[in-house]
Structure formats: structure tokens, C-alpha cells
């Protein structure tokens, strides 16, 4: 075979191989670098003022950076379907002055309800332990902490059991920052879940299971910082 023909076939083979690799990158997500499929990472803790031993680095497909993306959390999260519920208590905005306030009611296919509140701000006055509001309204509260298991690792949350007459709520919350520096200027986000205990939800243990399932739809991993 003439040398020119051999050179042509070699060049053609290299071109086909290059196109094959490119196609693999485009069409086979498994070949992507881990950083491209890992989503976002955020620092989390149960205390807004100082880092505790319960701090974790969370991985999530959703962007909790303070800004427009904060309100882009889907209304459909696994088996949970949500709807936005505007905050009608003007005192919340007067007292807290949050930059962003998201309040939603999510319901699963069995009729269980989880309320999600997301507050974002660069001001320390925007955040206070939720049990303060309950106590001010004459609810009896018990405060502890708990770990919510994720697909990998866990996220720790402060847990509030609030009772007033026949009403009973389980509240779980933690704070998020863009990174471990926890710089207030970069924004702090409070992630809070409230599970009313009544009807199909018979006790705090079942409420905790529902909250854990919901959190697992939002966060995929929680590891030591």
C-alpha cells in the first residue's frame, strides 16, 4: 500500500477515535468528572454564632446561596408536592428584615404534611431560635438535637417539640453558609421543617421519620467538615 494511503488511514483512524471520546463525554454522564455531577456544597450547623461538633458539609443538587436561586427549590421533591404559602404576618418582615423568605406546604401521597421555611439574610437580627416564638405564644417546648440520615452521612438539626393544648408540632432546623468561613456578608440561610402531629401523624417519632424523608430529597450527603 502506498505511504500516502497509509498516512491517510492512520489520520482517519485518529479522527474517528477522537470523535468517539467526545461522544462518550457528551452522552455518557458516568464519564464526567465528579465535580460536575456533585451539585453544590454548603456548611451547616445548629448554631448560628459558633461552630459546634455537629457541623457538617452538605451536598445538594439545589443552590442555597442567598439570591434568586434560593427560591428555585422545586415544588416536586420525590413523593412530596409543594405549594407556596405567602407569609401574611407583616411583623415577621418588620422584626426579622430577611432578604428572602420562602414558606411552603408540602404533602406526600399519603396525606402527610411538612411545612418548609427558608430564611436568607446577611443580618444577625433575622435569625433566632424558633422556640422563642412558640414560648412567646404560650406553647410548651422541649429542645434537643437529632441527626437526620441522608444517602451518605447525616445532617444535624436542632429539634423542638412544641405543645399547646391539643396542638403538637415537631420542628427541625439548621443553618447553611456557602462555605466553612461562615461569613455573614456572604449570607446565612435558615432551613426549617415543621411537622404538625395530628391525624395520620400520630407521634413525634413518625413526624421525625417524615422530616428525615423530606430532608433526604433535598440533601444527598452530609460529612464532617
What tens digit of pLDDT does each residue of 48-102 get?
Answer: 999 999 999 999 999 999 988 888 899 999 999 999 998 777 776 667 888 999 9
Do both 3 and 46 map to the same domain?
Answer: no
The pTM for the full model equals 0.81
Q: Are 114 and 106 in contact (CB under 8 A)?
A: yes
State the average pLDDT for the chain.
Answer: 84
Q: Which domain holds residue 6?
A: 1-37
DSSP at 18:
H
My answer on whether 24 and 109 are in the same domain is: no
Same domain, 114 and 209: yes
Among 123-127, 129-133, 188-192, which range has the highest average pLDDT?
Answer: 188-192
Indicate the number of domains in the chain. Answer: 2
Residues 58 and 142 grouped into a single domain = yes
- What's the CA gap between 182 and 35, in Å, rounded? 22
Regarding whether 119 and 33 lie in a shared domain, the answer is no
Amino acid at each position: 500500500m502506498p505511504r500516502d494511503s497509509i498516512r491517510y488511514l492512520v489520520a482517519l483512524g485518529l479522527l474517528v477515535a477522537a470523535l468517539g471520546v467526545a461522544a462518550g463525554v457528551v452522552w455518557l454522564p458516568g464519564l464526567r468528572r465528579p465535580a460536575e455531577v456533585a451539585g453544590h456544597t454548603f456548611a451547616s450547623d445548629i448554631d448560628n454564632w459558633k461552630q459546634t461538633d455537629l457541623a457538617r458539609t452538605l451536598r445538594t443538587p439545589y443552590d442555597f446561596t442567598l439570591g434568586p436561586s434560593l427560591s428555585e427549590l422545586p415544588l416536586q421533591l420525590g413523593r412530596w408536592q409543594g405549594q407556596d404559602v405567602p407569609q401574611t404576618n407583616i411583623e415577621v418582615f418588620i422584626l426579622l428584615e430577611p432578604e428572602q423568605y420562602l414558606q411552603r406546604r408540602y404533602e406526600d401521597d399519603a396525606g402527610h404534611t411538612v411545612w418548609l421555611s427558608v430564611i436568607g439574610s446577611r443580618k444577625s437580627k433575622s435569625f433566632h431560635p424558633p422556640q422563642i416564638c412558640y414560648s412567646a405564644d404560650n406553647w410548651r417546648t422541649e429542645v434537643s438535637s437529632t441527626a437526620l440520615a441522608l444517602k451518605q452521612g447525616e445532617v444535624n438539626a436542632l429539634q423542638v417539640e412544641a405543645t399547646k393544648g391539643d396542638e403538637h408540632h415537631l420542628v427541625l432546623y439548621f443553618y447553611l453558609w456557602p462555605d466553612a468561613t461562615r461569613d455573614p456578608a456572604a449570607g446565612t440561610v435558615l432551613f426549617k421543617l415543621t411537622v404538625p402531629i395530628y391525624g395520620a401523624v400520630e407521634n413525634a417519632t413518625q413526624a421525625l421519620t417524615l422530616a428525615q424523608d423530606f430532608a433526604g430529597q433535598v440533601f444527598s450527603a452530609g460529612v464532617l467538615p
